[in-house]
Chains A and B, each alone.
Chain A
Amino acid sequence: MRRNPSSYPLTWHLMDILEAVFSKIWPKGGGLWNPYLMLSPAILLIGLLVLGLGYIGDISLRTLDTSTFLFSEEWSLTNYERALTEPFIRSVIWRSILGATIVTMITLLLAFPYTYVMVRTRSAFLRKFLLIALFLPFFIGQVVRAYGWLIILGKQGIVNDILGLVGIEPLRMLFNYPSVLFGLVQYMFPFAVLMLAPALTAIPEEIEAASESLGASWVETMLHVVLPMAKPGLIGAGLVVLTLSLTDFAMPAILGGGTQDFVANAIYDQFFRTSDQGFGSSLAVILIVIGSLLVWVIFMLVGAGTLALGAKDK
């Protein structure tokens, strides 16, 4: 039986409108090109990004003349050479990669049990509590959260006040590498849980029951059944956390107290503090290359996880 058009989903109506507008503009239609024309907004968006990247790539090959603050007409690899030989920049790049890797591992370790409990619990109260605990900080911006940690962990902060009650001298818990990683883990945690939740929800509970009925302990079931089946979710969450951490600006700037710059902070300095957009652009290109390489290696080793959007893993 034919459905009543009013019961069609909203997206179908939108497509109808788009088609009507399209046929008004081009009555003969695009024939086989129609699907590609539908893709044009996405292509336009990507095109703009590529255009921006092209500009960054171009300016990264031009050196700044500090006697005129104009860029060279000729291309050269001077900025890249400087970026890869200057000890400070090398240490910043290394700190960013190491930090992003540590943050990804810790975040996944924490997010997995949290998500598992959230999707498996039979208590509606607990599920709601975990969801609220997840989303409440999610709705607060990164900068505000970082300043929140300054209030909590600062020398005059709440934690030191409590330690003071038992006679412990105030400790400096901020402005070091661990505090930046801590802030990043706290910031990335909801992203990881949100990426993991669909993957864990998709694992039928019956499979766990079957595993245990065949004699596997709960630990064995987790290790040999749930974890392998959750792998796509773990990979997807890991990729998101890794790339976001690698390019983060606010946490190193605020919780690092000027002592723990990541690449994004170095880029900001070059663009806005020393006005050397050429060198800053070369750092941006290096960051993009590093991020892409890391993602490519993960794709090659373990696939794209849930980011493959249904495509079969190799």
Chain B
Amino acid sequence: MTFDKQIKRRNLLKTTALLGIAGAAGSMAPSLLKAAPAKPKEIIIRAWGGPWVEALKAGVSDPFTAKTGIQVRHDLTEDNEIQPKVWAAVAQKRTPPIHINWDTTTNATKSALRGVCEDLSDLPNLKGTTDLAKPVGVDGYPIVNTYGYVYVLAYRPSAFPSGPPESYHDLLDPKFKGRLAFYNDGIGFHFPAQVAGGGKLDGIPSNMKPCWDFVSKIKAQEPLLGEDPDFVTWFQNGEIDAACTISTNALGAKRNGVDIAWTIPKEGAKFDTDGLWIPRGHSEGDLYWCKEYINQALSKESQQIWLDGLGLPGVIPGLQPPPGLAGDPSYPTKPADFDRLIRISGKIQVENESEWFSKFKAIMQG
């Protein structure tokens, strides 16, 4: 009887100790040890190429592989070109061609509205994120924003000897004719142009006439129109003096030795985000590990390395800005930094962008 009791007591102690260890381990790695399903050999992440994918690999993919043993393959298909393939796969109940889409939040919002995104609201690391991680205009977390970026007014300092341009109106000086650049659909410029044209941000999208009036004035300056890589090339070749572009492009040009600076004019600058999302149609096991990947991307260590490479502000408090970007207008961290940044709901953008792009192109190609 005593022996039995001792055994039972011993068993009880053992069990309690094991439960304690498991509980402690679970709290340290909350999701990994909770009934983790079988691991896939690899997961496929759609990404942008060049320094973008290098930064993701160093900050998120490599640590994820080290931790889980799951290989990460980066698919460099353009975000807007993978979208119809993913939508078709989900509609036809096939396995989507990618596990995770690294996407612009605007583009991802379309997928969220269509209902092809998995819910990410149960990611443990979401608790430690700022409001920036939450997509605006959609319910819950079909997308998790992972950083923000600003469409700055990048300029060649030698072309502005009296100091940085204070307003987009400064670009109407005849000396800049043929020496300005914008995105070919006007993205990033619509909202500051609305202000520059004398309108209000409340007028978006119902009354955008001020925007189009100002775009018409800019058109008279015969600007170059292009995509991300074009801006860097044009600055490098000395073909342009100013451009409305994502700060990462300006930073990339600067890191390549181009004499370039950037500012936020008095009209403000568009602030937007990129994010990660998982298309529906993957097995429960794959979905689990995809969520682990995104959870990893929301850890402070991964954000620090990933976003150091991109020079962009993340969604975890306390990240250290890369050298030279502390206090930079393209690297907002404090609430006051956002005062001159324009953030419009993703839903409003996706509902109206087709019309905005057409209108911008009609003016520029007229």
Contact = CB atoms under 8 A, between A and B. Distances in A.
Physical interaction between A and B: yes
B239 A156 contact: yes
Interface stretch (B63-71, B188-196, B357-365): B357-365
B225 interface: yes
A154 B365 CA distance: 20
B354 interface: yes
Contact of B364 (A156, A259, A273, A277): A259
B261 interface: no
Interface stretch (B15-23, B78-86, B333-341): B78-86
Interface string A120-163: 00000000000000000000000000000000001110000000
Contacts of A271: 84
Contact of A276 (B78, B111, B226, B354): B354
Contacts, number: 79
Contact of B114 (A69, A92, A276): A69
Contacts of B366: 91
Contacts of B121: none
Contact of A66 (B80, B225, B226, B350): B350
Given A257-B224, A271-B84, A273-B185, A91 B365 contact: yes
A260 interface: yes
A257 B350 CA distance: 25
Interface string A76-101: 00000000001111011000000000
Given A67-B351, A70-B114, A272-B83, 20 more contacts: A67-B113, A68-B115, A69-B350, A89-B358, A91-B362, A156-B238, A156-B239, A172-B178, A257-B184, A258-B225, A258-B361, A258-B364, A259-B184, A259-B225, A259-B365, A269-B185, A273-B80, A273-B357, A274-B354, A277-B84
Interface of B: 78, 80-81, 83-84, 110-111, 113-115, 178, 184-185, 224-226, 237-239, 350-354, 357-359, 361-362, 364-366
Interface string A262-299: 00000001111111110100000000000000000000
A155 B235 CA distance: 12
Given A87-B362, A91-B366, A272 B353 contact: no
Task: Summarize A's interface: helix, strand, loop or mixed.
Answer: loop
B293 to A, nearest CB: 25
A36 to B, nearest CB: 33
A257 B354 contact: no
A277 B226 CA distance: 23
Contacts of B224: 175, 257-258
Interface centre among A155, A172, A277, A279 (most CB of B within 10 A): A155
Contact of B353 (A91, A175, A257, A274): A274
21 contacts: A66-B351, A67-B113, A68-B113, A68-B114, A69-B111, A91-B366, A154-B239, A155-B237, A257-B225, A260-B365, A261-B361, A269-B185, A269-B357, A270-B354, A272-B83, A272-B84, A273-B185, A274-B353, A275-B80, A275-B84, A279-B354
A87 B178 CA distance: 25
Contacts of B239: 154-156
A234 B76 CA distance: 43
A84 B318 CA distance: 54
Contact of A261 (B80, B84, B365): B365
Q: Which of A87, A261, A269 has the most CB of B within 10 A?
A: A269
Given A69-B113, A258-B364, A274 B237 contact: no
Given A156-B238, A156-B239, A88 B362 contact: yes
A272 B362 CA distance: 19
Contacts of B358: 86, 88-89
A259 B225 CA distance: 7
A272 B81 contact: yes
B304 to A, nearest CB: 33
Interface size class of A (residues with CB under 8 A): 20 to 34
B109 to A, nearest CB: 9
A88 B84 contact: no
Contacts of B237: 154-156
A33 to B, nearest CB: 35
A257 B226 contact: yes
A261 B238 CA distance: 25
A232 B255 CA distance: 58
Contacts of A66: 113, 350-352, 354
A273 B186 CA distance: 12
B225 A275 contact: no
A88 B226 contact: no
A174 B357 CA distance: 23
Contacts of A67: 113, 351
Contacts of A154: 237, 239
B361 A88 contact: yes
Nearest to A176: B222
Q: Closest 5 CB pairs between A and B?
A: A258-B184, A258-B225, A88-B362, A274-B354, A69-B114
Nearest to A174: B224
A62 to B, nearest CB: 13
With a 10 A CB-CB cut-off, give which of B350, B361, B362, B364 has the most chain A CB atoms.
Answer: B361
Contact of A88 (B80, B81, B115, B365): B365
Contacts of A92: 365
B110 to A, nearest CB: 5
Contacts of A275: 80, 83-84, 110
A261 B185 CA distance: 12
Contacts of A70: 114
Contacts of A273: 80, 185, 357
Nearest to B113: A69
A67 B114 CA distance: 8
Nearest to B112: A69
Contacts of A175: 224-225
A188 to B, nearest CB: 23
B80 A272 contact: yes
A259 B362 CA distance: 9
Contacts of B353: 274
